[in-house]
Copies of this chain bind each other. A is one copy, B any other.
């Protein structure tokens, strides 16, 4: 009904991932305020609790810090820590299974599209 949300994953997870992506892409920088819980809830027509759950998880991960009465802000070095942490998690927890599937299905670089050989800029 709402094309914004993917039904195969909880909404709070998608909100969380969206923020993570924005930090990784540099759209949210250190010290930037996150849109308020209420704002996101209203705009995306989602319950505030759902947004809060996502934000709480970001805070637990140290990606965001709360300032009483003011809101939530991207922490220092959030992007660097994210890159390191998410990379490790991806390579350890997701990639082995994905790679096995790729090989099992006999998929090739032509079908998958190219993955760069050199690291792209990170700064």
**Copies of this polypeptide in the complex:** 4
Q: Which of A70-111 contact B (CB under 8 A)?
A: 73, 75-76, 83, 86-87, 90-91, 94-95, 98-111
Q: Which residues of B contact A7 (CB under 8 A)?
A: 66, 68
On whether the beta carbons of B113 and A99 are closer than 8 Å, the reply is yes
Say whether A4 faces chain B, with CB atoms less than 8 Å apart: no
| Minimum CB–CB distance for A109 against chain B, Å | 5
| Minimum CB–CB distance for A56 against chain B, Å | 10
Q: Write 27 A-B pairs (CB below 8 A) sorted by A numbering.
A: A1-B65, A1-B75, A1-B76, A7-B66, A7-B68, A11-B68, A21-B100, A24-B104, A24-B105, A25-B104, A83-B105, A86-B105, A87-B111, A99-B112, A99-B115, A102-B115, A103-B116, A103-B120, A106-B119, A106-B122, A108-B115, A108-B118, A108-B119, A109-B115, A109-B116, A109-B117, A110-B119
